[in-house]
Structure 1
């Protein structure tokens, strides 16, 4: 990737073309749009005990934000990058005026918009259905979500480099999905894990993002914890940018 500047017009054009392809896949789009509401109402039917409802609802909404990021941004974009590569779309775009970063960002734009919309629906519906208070620090939650989108978009580009075809994307994305779901505190608090695993889980790619999301929602986090979470996220972002620049594949695998 040779330049870091983005041309809004080209980025919008690439995003529109990618959005058209996404809309045509009605099955995937329907599942993605319904996911937040389904998560909220399924949880509502399983909550018991008024003294635990607020805590469980808040944990579900913050975990739901993480699930949206992983499912909509990461897993969806791996398939998108692989499909565009195998169809020679990326190769053709690269021979034109669009820069490498614009091509990658344009492909990620629809998933980004969809994820932000889902999270907004998740927060609003969850607050109404589960009687959960709104975030105490909305700017911190938004910053954490945007950081998560950027990080997972990069990780999806990296994962696509060793994904042979769209059919195998479900396999290559599974390790990060499981590690994040189990180790980054999406639904199970990190503190509930064995003590030996906690320091390792805190260093997982999405752990810093989820720490910031929870801190922005509930407040009360220590400055040191926020700093550590931010540094972990920045470190993974730097590693991901380096890896994508070195190993991302623009042409079909042979």
Structure 2
């Protein structure tokens, strides 16, 4: 599917032609993006394979940790980690590349000359990655519960809120990062800080409870940390309501900051 087809798929047929609705326009964009995603093998590997590979790696590492001291089990350690990997590779890195590619190919510019509004364009472009990520999250959670024999979450609300915040935050961070990314090639560099900081500082590789108090307080302010904290604490029962609300506040702050950055800095035409 060419970029011209993608752009024309959501445009009005003319002054006398039928008008489309926001839902139909976003559906057309999402369908086109899902088709393009299925044709891009490298992206499919990043989206589908990397989270699974890293989940197995985390499971192997967790088996050698003394998790009982901090009130965790292998399951409550690995399952939130696997969801976080989906957010990083399935949503964040994928959408940064997608937005930059569509911008460099002038797809975003063409779409803005038609009926879709800016929010519709950004949201419609992200639907394919978000839907794929949600399906992966559910599949990994179910597989983790069955394989690791994990009991139901102590606080389902924290787990659900953590996933919702995580998906929204990953998508907005991706859009904000795309605003500062000059080309598709450079996107591999611009995603690295968030990806590496999240993997090593948000409790994915080792729990934050194992760090010194000062380091823990700093790491809790990182973008993905509150998401992992909500999921892991909700599952294990170690997270109090005050702690959960604090994590939600941190996540909400990152969402607002990312949305503000997108509004002020997002570019619709190629950077020169």
Q: What TM-score, normalized by structure 2, do the two folds share? A: 0.84
Unaligned 5+ residue runs, structure 1?
1-5
The structural deviation recorded for 1:48 is 4.8
Q: Secondary structure at the match of 1:166?
A: coil
Change (3 A) 1:78 1:40: closer
Q: Which residue of 2 aligns with 1:10?
A: 25
The structural deviation recorded for 1:140 is 2.8
Q: Which residue of 2 aligns with 1:140?
A: 158
Residue 120 (str. 1) matches residue 138 (str. 2): yes
Can you list the C-alpha shifts for 1:195-253, whole angstroms capped at 9, x where unaligned? 33222211111111111111222224111111110111111111111111000011001
The structural deviation recorded for 1:30 is 4.2
The structure with the largest alpha-carbon Rg is 2
1:82-231 aligned within 5 A: 82-231=100-249
Residue 32 (str. 1) matches residue 50 (str. 2): no
Aligned Cα root-mean-square deviation (Å): 2.3
The structural deviation recorded for 1:165 is 1.1
**Aligned length, in residue pairs:** 249
Q: Which deviates more from structure 2 when the two are superposed, residues 62-71 or residues 184-193?
A: 184-193
The structural deviation recorded for 1:43 is 5.3
Unaligned 5+ residue runs, structure 2?
1-20
Out of 258, 266, 270, the position equivalent to 1:240 is 258
Q: Secondary structure at the match of 1:167?
A: coil
Q: What TM-score, normalized by structure 1, do the two folds share? A: 0.89
Distance in 2 between residues matched to 1:193 and 1:43, nearest whole Å: 18
